[in-house]
Amino acid sequence: MRKKLVIWGASGHALVLADIIRLRGEYEIAGFLDDVNPDRRNTEFCGATVLGGQEQLDLLPQMGVHDLLVGFGDCRARLKVAELLLARGFRLTVAIHPQATIAPGVPVGAGTAIMAGAVVNAGSQIGENVIINTCASVDHECIIEKGAHICPGVHLAGKVVVGQATWIGIGATVIDKVRIGEHALIGAGAVVVNDIPDGVVAYGVPARVIRKVVNYD
What's the pLDDT score for residue 214? 82
The model's confidence at residue 217, banded by pLDDT at 50, 70 and 90, is low
Q: Report pLDDT digits (tens) over 68-104.
A: 999 999 999 999 999 999 999 999 999 999 999 999 9
Q: Please report, for residues 21, 52, 72, the alpha-carbon distance to residue 25 in angstroms, rounded to integers and kept in the order given.
A: 6, 25, 21
pLDDT of residue 216 exceeding 70, the answer is: no
Q: Report pLDDT digits (tens) over 192-208.
A: 999 999 999 999 999 99
Apex 78 CA angle, 59 and 205, nearest 5: 160
Distance between CA 125 and CA 34 in Å, rounded? 31
What's the pLDDT score for residue 1? 76
Q: Report pLDDT digits (tens) over 131-161.
A: 999 999 999 999 999 999 999 999 999 999 9
Distance between CA 97 and CA 197 in Å, rounded? 32
Q: What are phi and psi of 188, to 5 degrees?
A: -60, 135
Distance between CA 171 and CA 195 in Å, rounded? 18
Strands 48-52 and 44-45: antiparallel
From start to end of 71-145, where are the E strands? 91-92, 95-96, 101-102, 113-114, 119-120, 125-126, 131-132, 137-138, 143-144
What's the pLDDT score for residue 182? 97
From start to end of 38-117, where are the E strands? 44-45, 48-52, 65-70, 91-92, 95-96, 101-102, 113-114
Domains of the chain, with CATH numbers? 3-93 (3.40.50.20), 94-205 (2.160.10.10)
Q: Report pLDDT digits (tens) over 27-52.
A: 999 999 999 999 999 999 999 999 99
In the sheet that holds 125-126, the strands lie side by side as 125-126, 143-144, 161-162, 179-180
CA 159 to chain centroid, in Å, comes to: 20
What's the pLDDT score for residue 215? 75
Whether the CB-CB separation of 186 and 192 falls below 8 Å is answered with yes
Helix (H), strand (E) counts: the chain: 2, 24
